[in-house]
A and B are shown apart, each in its own frame.
Chain A
Amino acid sequence: MNICRKAPRSQNITEKVKPEHLALLVKTEWQLSYVTPLYQFRHTQLKTYARQLSAFIAAEKQQGLAVEVGGLQNTFKVSFSVLQGLAETNDDPETVLIQVQSKPMFARQEDPPKTVWSGWLSCINGNPEYLQSLPKDFTCLPLFCSKGAEGLSSLVKSWLQRTFDCCFGPLDINQTTLQWLAALWTNCHMETNIQKLKMIWTLPVVPPLQVTYTVDSDDALELWRSTRESSAEKSRGAEDEVTRFMQGLMSHFYRHFRVDLSAGELNQVSSALGSAKLNGKIKISSSRYLISIFSLLTECALLKMP
């Protein structure tokens, strides 16, 4: 679990990935899930898959399965495409994007169809030993990000499960990962103004108490730097830096309020660069750190798989 924990580098991935593809990924909140390797998935068959998924959605709608989007008159059109350039290593399969567009039956010709659901499957810096150990027919794209109506998410997952013999599960962003993101974004303040570091805790009292702790970005960065220096002096590992950073923040809080934040749960971390929530929702506002963050999430997905 150490590969991604070193200080991430900012990358200008606009050279590798098309800007219009990046635009689809950033500034949007994605719901995260993990998915087990797909059996006999072919990047060359995407048009076929799009047709099959369209038909599946139409059939399920006819059977009265609630799709929640638009009226019964809507037709859904599915497209599968490759988001080239996100795969980092030779073992990473290319990222696949699925979009569902809706067109009302009586729309005019010029009306563009509206994208009502999108999702993407990816594997960024996946563990090479694991990837190489998989049998040939399996494609590992463990990280699934989705956005749109819950009904459509279920249908897409359901179709993927039966077609590629895989299974899905929710990917929560745990405390450690949230803390790591807080430190990551603070670190990024050296190159990009993150404006503020905001953290939201909930304390288990009746009624539940929410604590929103917002730190000025320059001050957060100084605290982060000071914990890194002292950790380096004492030759402690990268994980210790994050822990000490969070402890510094919590002790400042305790000094004023005499409330122990570790008695509660960190629910959300956000900055100008993005936000991450305990319930598996993530938003990346800048493409410069996209690879680092999604590498971490790929690792989390691989670890969460049964």
Chain B
Amino acid sequence: MHETFRNIWAQMDQLNKKVLDSLAEFIKKHGLGCSSDVWRQRASEIPTAALMLGVNVPDHAMTFRSLCNLLQDSVTPFVASVHAKECAAVKLLIQKVLEQLMGRGVSVDEEQEDDTALLQRTQCTISALCQWYKTVTKKCTQVSPQRKENLTNSDLPQSLPVVVIFKDFEAFNSQVLQDFILICSRYTQELPFIFIFGIATSPSAIQHRLPHSVSSLLCIEVFHSLSCTQHLASVFDKLILKSQFPFKLSSRVIQVLVSVFLYHDFSVQNFVKGLQFSMLEHFNSQPLSVLCCQKQEALLSAKTLSKQNVERIRHLPSFMRYVETQEPQEQVQLLTNDEHVKVTLLFHNRCSGKTGLQRAQKSPCYNSLYLLALATGCGSLSTRLLTLTITNLHPLQKSEIRYLLEKESRRTKRTNPFEVLRSEVMEFIDSLVREYLTPAELQPLNEVCYYSSSGVLRQRLNATPRTSIQAALSHPFYYLQNESLKTDTGTISSAAPDLCIVFKLHLECGRLINLYDWLEAYVTVMSAAEDQHTDSEECGKFDSLKHARFIQAVSEMEFLGFVKSTKQKTDHVARLTWGGC
């Protein structure tokens, strides 16, 4: 099961290949271009590739990794990639670049090792890199004969470019970048630098960060990677709508996943993680998922189904619905004879296999519809819709179309002929779909393949730390499940942990909380319970204990970020949450 997933995921890496290849081409071209006549004239310009990657920065890591590998394999061994986090100053940036470049060179030939060990911080300059580069390239040209063949093409010795990748361009301090570019531009004659900027927003970010005097030292070309929506669409194509992939998601679950993607992060990685999670959850929670595998294996495991599992099948709502539609005699058979159930299972398995095949054919049209839902401007809508092979629609699409319809009707107030036509087409498709396709939920045994608990998924993926902390503190019973903690809303029980009592008391205060009043209130709550069995004779003794417990609770509150000490008033702490209301 997992292997299938792996295989399919491996294909995903190929998606960005096209962009990366064009980038590598760019770098090769500039690497070779050094010898050309035109090039020398403006040698102080550093060729720069602005790689547009979309707003989700964590997703870029994989792209950069494969870019690095590609460059190292096919173009040049001299690749350094830097993160903004590591480079708060020019010094650090240069150090990082040098470490990566020279460290890599060391791994190629061992003799250099001593030199780099001696590399002091004071010598951490580009000119040191320059020296090192000269010695290394000299060796390279002596060692490798195939490079020498290349030399015959041009008069000057061909030099391998030094590629510096700035992974997150936006996050770099612009002063650091400017200085680094200025320094590098001084050495372009000796060191063929090439920069790659990983840009999350738009290419104009370069102009915002760098003044003209610096950007005039760059020779910038823009490269676009696949947009995240296209990326997601291909994930859909290759994972969800493949017949080889027996695990399916119900429309609700897909909605949850897609809405996380669209509304929150634009992260394909997170989407895949969500998918993986739902898979895990499905196989974990549904015992019948043993049947959710390739057809052959499913047939096998259906034959050897245990009695308990057959009983589980009988309890499936979809199976019960199916039984009800059968003849009375058949019903009795299905409910009593285990073997009969298995035979019907085999039959159904074959059916589901067939629908899976159909689904695979449909994937492109699903895809286009899906893309439509993503596209905010629906300019090419009608043309695309008309090209759909309408009768083949997947049940899932219904919800998508309805979603589209709702979205459209909500947004557009004015109607022009185009929009009228569009909504007509929509209605037509909608009616067709309703007529010809039964939703997956209605088919017997859909629970085996379809994961449908969207509530669980939403809860797991959309973490709400604030509400859960609040729930834990105001209703400790919710998490601790201790009977003595059950309380009515609004009252403060002394049995609750100190932290909960302190939290509830602090809710009644304003922005600044007087610590002494707070302590008083706390002691009152605590002693209210004790008054019942002991008289208040040992009040003073208890007080110091309560005092200590109170102080501990308050410091826990501070640790959780609900209060902090303030200089405005002594003996007061400031509330940090809910705006002090």
A and B together in one complex: no
Interface residues of B (CB under 8 A from A): none
Interface residues of A (CB under 8 A from B): none
